[in-house]
Chain A
């Protein structure tokens, strides 16, 4: 086999692999990409109950209630609209009222059923999507002032 043929074999193999990967990616994209929604998006848009999505915003102050059988309900807000969320299990350590949260699950009949509430490692961390949701609802400035004050506390 000539050098050129050898090279062609491998280029062919590489192309095959890339085609395989592309095929897998395209088939996986449909079902495995999760769109991010702010509470306002959820209130305004029609959302199919079978669609998985991420909801991000602030945990509304005073909204966390613990129910029977390890179920917790709370409201997620972008200061313009709020969405009821229900979750069964142990909430992440840094889950707090008045702080940013991202939950993943489905929305049906006015309630967001989360099967995952994303944890974070640092109390000053604000997921970029949550910051964006607040900017969109026009409430970012007052929130960022609060965040800045917290930031000041952390450095002084």
Chain B
């Protein structure tokens, strides 16, 4: 009964979305206030219906209702409660239900908190949101109904894929989806603006918090996914340039560009068409990501069994959304007038450089990801484009941008003096040189790119601090006055400073882990010791144990350095009997200087030996710490006063024109 109620609520939500897509849009077109005002009740009732539907599926999972197919396929009565809940979105149908739930939630947030939006803009934004939602409701109901029953009911379930029974992955999909779907807001605002034919500072101010929120969620989602791959797959790696990873990285690149270009629209009233284009691009990349992950067209290490019919449906949806929005952009985009002018060396110029590099990077990742598919489609050879390609193309593109990133915030709007900025940054030059010298001294030399990466990280970190110092007039005024300025900095500036500092720390982590990783694979018998990066790992033996729905082989490693105890690592190999599937639980001890990482593999021979894999991953925690700082910067920036108070009212004349186009 519960499942049928959930299904019914979903069907109702589809019809509400249809109404929301048509009535307020038409009302905005005719200037009919009553019709426009339909947007709010529609958006709110839509989210309530989807929330109810999502609640029904969650309930079925929590009580293990094995008459629901989705529960049978993805749950088991012995599964811990956390994974019974996480199992709701740990499968295709449930994850799409989560997708539309988030979509509806974003829409209702605009309806509830968008009181300061002009009614016509709000009606159109919510109309576009509802159109996207209609596509996904149809997709769910026609190809992926999560509420399908089985008769007779199963005695027990098939369990959730054990790799997903993990705290990191329990929360990875919701964050990723909050990011993907969050870009639908920027998209809806962009389409609404194209329909209205106007983009101005107020528009940029309304869009920015949504973009920031989406970007922050996506950053967390990607970081969580990478962290999960790092400790759960037991390869010691954190990024494989795999199609599924690229699928989440492309919207991030486009979204980062959008975040920066929206600043220019807000402050300088220029780069409008470009910003609209980026908003369309960011969401298109999110949809493309969904398609790549859900269709199984590409070989991926992260792929799950898929259904081709569903892939076709998303592909059609993708073509309609991207084709339609780009066609609208081609028709209306040229009419957007920019008033601000600026010289190439200026804050605008710096932000545009960021945009160009980010979009080129996005194009490179897109090319590398889709090229094998394209070649296969035209009947060429089967190939794979792997990490060497991305590393040798993507990284060199990013190097000049990170260099420019130090200068950008110090340049003034309209026109700036590069020499003067360079003089102010001499401390940062010195800091970068010191970091490189220190890295060479400590490691005795390493890969060129890694040394360069550490230098860039030092440069970016120091130049961001220099910029903060310049803003608060440090050492130019009494310290007290500077401190006062520091406290009065707008939160958006803090956001920028934190995000750039976080990026610097992340780069340092990537350079360290990429350049100086130490790996050692061997067979170890109890009592044997291996030295990895100066740490002695002694294998003290393995024992068997039992978890809630799995059995364990647990290997213990005692780690010492120069005779002193460091830590005891317990690496597990788990076996989930329901799916007959083993998983690897790496034992990790994180230090600021790097991670000690041990994995136990299969037994070898009959003398109690095991294949073991031991890593030292230098600076790797910096990567995730940096990502967290970036996200923190994003959150601080969203809370900036000028977004909370709302944008200054548009001039009355313009509003009047908007009502009667």
Residues of A bordering B, CB below 8 Å: 1, 3, 6, 9-10, 13-14, 17-18, 20-21, 24-25, 27-29, 31-36, 54, 66, 68-70, 88-94, 102, 104, 118-129, 132, 154-156
Contacts and interface: CB of A to CB of B under 8 A. Distances in A.
Contact of A68 (B69, B235, B303, B523): B523
B360 interface: yes
Given A17-B360, A32-B389, A34-B383, A66 B342 contact: no
B552 to A, nearest CB: 14
The residue in B69, B150, B579 that gathers the most chain A C-beta atoms within 10 A of its C-beta is B579
A66 B604 contact: yes
A33 B301 contact: no
10 contacts: A13-B356, A25-B393, A32-B385, A33-B384, A94-B581, A122-B161, A126-B305, A127-B299, A128-B298, A154-B158
Dominant secondary structure of chain B at its interface with chain A: mixed
Interface string B160-183: 010100000000000000000000
Contact of B393 (A6, A13, A24, A35): A24
A128 B341 contact: no
Contact of A20 (B299, B305, B397, B582): B397
Nearest to A69: B523
A6 B344 contact: yes
Given A3-B341, A93-B581, A122-B161, A29 B382 contact: no
Contacts of A127: 299, 303
Contacts of B302: 121
Q: Say which size band chain B's interface belongs to.
A: 35 or more
Contacts of A13: 344, 353, 356
A38 to B, nearest CB: 9
A118 B233 CA distance: 11
A73 B432 CA distance: 48
B342 A6 contact: yes
A121 B299 contact: no
B34 interface: no
Contacts of A18: 360
Given A24-B397, A31-B388, A70-B521, A6 B343 contact: yes
Interface in B284-311: 296-299, 301-306
Contacts of B386: 32, 34, 104
Interface in B355-373: 356-357, 360, 363-364, 367
B579 A123 contact: yes
A88 B522 CA distance: 9
B522 A69 contact: yes
Contact of B602 (A36, A66, A118): A66
B417 to A, nearest CB: 15
Given A10-B352, A90-B611, 13 more contacts: A6-B342, A17-B356, A25-B389, A28-B392, A34-B386, A35-B382, A68-B523, A102-B299, A119-B233, A125-B303, A125-B306, A155-B69, A155-B73
B165 to A, nearest CB: 12
Contacts of A128: 296-299
A127 B384 CA distance: 12
Nearest to B584: A93
B646 interface: no
A29 B381 CA distance: 14
Contact of B367 (A14, A25, A88): A25
B17 to A, nearest CB: 30
A66 B356 CA distance: 51
